[in-house]
Structure 1
Amino acid sequence: MTQQQNGNAEELILTRTLNAPRDLVFKVFTEAEHLLNWWGPKGLAMNVAKVDLRPGGLFHYSMKTPDGHEMWGKFVYREISPPERLVFTNSFSDAEGNTLRHPASPTWPMEMLNTLIFEEADGKTKLTMRGIPVNASEEELHTFDSNRSNVQQGFAGTFAQLDEYLAKLV
């Protein structure tokens, strides 16, 4: 795993090989009807409020826990280069799309910059995801750094759901 310095934070870099062609993998990252089926932590029900796939556009969604607690999140797209690259910030939000703090961690960075690279590899897709806090305080950077393994575990679960979903489509 390579890490690159950006200010006082190191990027978190995750890679995964997905058993589906790159065009399809890019679609499931950018279309509401697909995102509903795999994005987010396991066990949470997803609801996509809005997908506006353009620079400055939003993917605005809610996640509901089994006990009915609802949380909102959003991506703000910065760069969309189908099917090889997707760049966006993500954050927690309210139902109107206003950026909010993490509901369970008041020192989690307000926004994360994510760069996803999709590479074709013999009918499969190598996905590289790079994430780093943006405009974060020292305390937020420390929280990010000390929670790397939790973030990796969370994305491992999300990507496992993605694997299961892709298997139904190919």
Structure 2
Amino acid sequence: MTDQHIPTTGSEPEADRTVVVERLVSAPREVVFEAFTSVDHLSAWWGPDGFTTSTREFEFREGGEWIFTMHGPDGTDYAEWIRWREIVTPERIVLLHGEYAGDPNAFDSVFTFDEVGAQTRITLSTVFPTKQLRDTAVEEYHAIEGGAQTLGHLATYVEA
């Protein structure tokens, strides 16, 4: 199966399928970007409150994959798969994220890193294939809160 961008019905505007979370981090953007480049870094901060990760495969390059399991605070395991689609150091990372390669519900995420004086504004914009998948992620999986918590963990990690 291919991991091409999932087509939509055409009747749902991108804004209705998108979640955006941002955070101002007290660290230079090169340092914030670097926190994505190795599994050791990512394992230290990735995920919402109470979650940890176990990595099976990791290759940070365009076309590379990160295959891992997120372990929830209640003991639930979540299979995760990321393909790094575009990496522009230290400005932008584009990825496709699903449960597995070829997941029809996979979504596109873009991390942008903008200098704001000595700080970095990191913006995470996630576009789901459908509005229903976006709404499910927000309502059932608390995607906005989880995204904010994840960026908070990133900030704590790079500010230390």
Of 117, 125, 133, 1:122 maps to: 117
CA–CA distance in structure 2, aligned partners of residues 88 and 38 of structure 1? 18
Alignment of 1:1-170 (within 5 A): 7=10, 8=12, 9-10=14-15, 11-66=18-73, 68-93=75-100, 98-99=101-102, 110-134=105-129, 136=130, 141-145=131-135, 147-148=137-138, 150-168=142-160
CA–CA distance in structure 1, aligned partners of residues 89 and 79 of structure 2? 26
Instruction: Say if 2:86 and 2:95, in contact at 8 Å, map to a contact too.
Output: yes
The one-letter code of the counterpart of 2:119 is: K
SS in 1 for 2:144: helix
Normalising by structure 1, we get a TM-score of: 0.75
Shift of 1:146: 5.6
Shift of 1:68: 4.1
Q: Which has the higher contact order (CA 8 A, sep 6+)?
A: 2
SS in 1 for 2:36: helix
Count of aligned residue pairs for this structure pair: 146
Shift of 1:19: 0.9
The one-letter code of the counterpart of 1:142 is: Q
Unmatched tracts of structure 2, length 5 or more: 1-7
- Structure 2 counterpart of 1:105: none
Shift of 1:66: 4.5
Normalising by structure 2, we get a TM-score of: 0.80
RMSD over aligned Cα atoms? 2.2
CA–CA distance in structure 2, aligned partners of residues 67 and 155 of structure 1? 19
SS in 2 for 1:47: strand
CA–CA distance in structure 2, aligned partners of residues 111 and 34 of structure 1? 24
- Structure 1 counterpart of 2:3: none
The Cα offsets for residues 56-87 of structure 1, whole Å up to 9 and x where unpaired, read as: 21111112235543222121111111000100
CA–CA distance in structure 2, aligned partners of residues 25 and 56 of structure 1? 21
SS in 2 for 1:29: coil
The one-letter code of the counterpart of 2:20 is: I
Instruction: Say if 2:20 and 2:126, in contact at 8 Å, map to a contact too.
Output: yes
Between the aligned residues of both structures, percent identity stands at: 28
The one-letter code of the counterpart of 2:158 is: L
The Cα offsets for residues 27-63 of structure 1, whole Å up to 9 and x where unpaired, read as: 1122111000110122122112222122221111112
